[in-house]
Amino acid sequence: MARHSVLGAVLVGALALAGCGGAKVGDSSAGAAGDCGTFNLAVNPWVGYEANAAVLAYVAEKELKCKVTKKELKEEVAWQGFGTGEVDAVVENWGHDDLRKKYIDEQKTAVSAGSTGVKGQIGWYVPPWLAKEHPDILDWNNLNKYADQFKTSESGDKGQLLDGDPSFVTNDEALVKNLNLNYKVVYGGSETALIQAFRQAEKDKKWVIGYFYSPQWLLNEVKLEKVKLPEYKAGCDADAEKVACDYPDYDLDKIVSKKFADANGPAFNLVKNFKWTNQDQNTVAKYIAEDKMKPEEAAKKWVEANADKIKAWTAKA
């Protein structure tokens, strides 16, 4: 889920380094209908996305005989790759109106390939024990009352609001400022750091409040409680500096290179047809993150149990 920010020349360089050899989008070997060729699949840095990518890559390779090249890229870098042929598909997009405007509307290098079927939600969460002992903490109006309890060495004299990877979609710094909260956003650095913090907080009854999201397999294990922020209304997050409302609900979709879509090959039809549920994703994500299965093994296990869905995804357009 990455926030709209910052990337510039460094990220262009990262994209160049991430690029692999083989057929490029638009080459006859990559695009001709009936010939799958090379399928360049971006993998963004959270396990839900990795679950999507694992299953799509497995089906593309085993059912369609594609040559799949996975590229681990943060979101904006991946979108840059649509115009160069480095990236054919991003398969879990969290909104990104800014990137849609730039790459779909203006540059016309990308198009939407429809919903994944997964519904996404971002927010602030606390561990279950804390919500049970202090139920009023679930109303943002009461957060300053508890700020001292959340202090850490990183947050100084303010409460710590724990975030994940700085590239994730986040309005948290603006929210803290605009809601006049005595908190400091501290970046844990990754999805794994968030999971470890919340797990530990529940186990040891530690005071932790932080950014989290669904779908996420951890929510099946630790029933994190969401803090109610001011209600989201259309446009309330239009100005990133002035955001003072909750996050919207997301219908997570797929974005593909326009060249990839126009070629209309087997891999594009697979991406277009790909649709599953939050529970499907959480199942595969748990196989990868918690059960320590390799992505290919996790995908194989799920695919073999869901033949009807695979049949629908691989049907001719």
Q: What is the pLDDT of residues 137-181, one digit of tens each?
A: 999 999 999 999 999 999 999 999 999 998 888 999 999 999 999
189 & 126 share domain: yes
10 Å Cβ neighbour count for 37?
21
Six-digit token string for 243: 């955001």
Instruction: Say yes or no: 255 and 244 in one domain.
Output: no
Asked whether residue 131 falls in the same domain as residue 219, the answer is yes
Which pLDDT value is given to residue 19?
Answer: 38
In a domain, 61, yes or no: yes
Average model confidence (pLDDT) across the chain: 89
Strand partners, 139: 228
Q: What is the pLDDT of residue 209?
A: 98
Domain boundary among 228, 248, 268: 248
* Contacts for 13-17: CB closer than 8 Å, 24+ residues apart: 14/73, 14/77, 15/73, 15/77, 15/80, 15/81, 15/84, 15/86
Residue-wise pLDDT for 61-114, tens only, equals 999 999 999 999 998 899 999 999 999 999 999 988 889 999 999 999 999 999
Specify the pTM.
0.80
- Whether residue 262 sits in one domain with residue 144: no
216: nearest Cα among 199, 229, 228: 199
Element (H, E) at 120: strand 110-126
Decide which of 248, 265, 299 is a domain's last residue.
248
215-234 residue pLDDT tens = 999 998 999 999 999 999 99
Mean pLDDT of 196-210: 98
- Domain hosting residue 77, numbered range: 8-119+250-313
- What is the spatial distance between Cα 317 and Cα 314, in angstroms, rounded to a whole number? 9
The string of pLDDT tens digits covering residues 24-76 is: 333 333 334 457 899 999 999 999 999 999 999 999 999 999 999 999 999 88
Residue 151's CATH number: 3.40.190.100
pLDDT of residue 35: 78
Residues 169 and 71 occupy one common structural domain: no
Smallest Cα–Cα separation from 3: which of 197, 201, 241?
241
First-to-final CA distance of the chain = 30
What does the pLDDT average to over 121-134?
Answer: 98
The residue type found at 263 is A
**Distance from C-alpha of 17 to C-alpha of 264, rounded to nearest angstrom:** 28
> For residue 34, what pLDDT is reported?
52
For residues 114-139, give the mean pLDDT.
Answer: 97
Number of structural domains in the chain: 2
CATH number at residue 103: 3.40.190.10
Cα of 172 vs its chain's centroid, Å: 17
Q: Is the peptide bond before 215 cis (omega within 30 degrees of 0)?
A: yes
One domain for residues 85 and 136? no
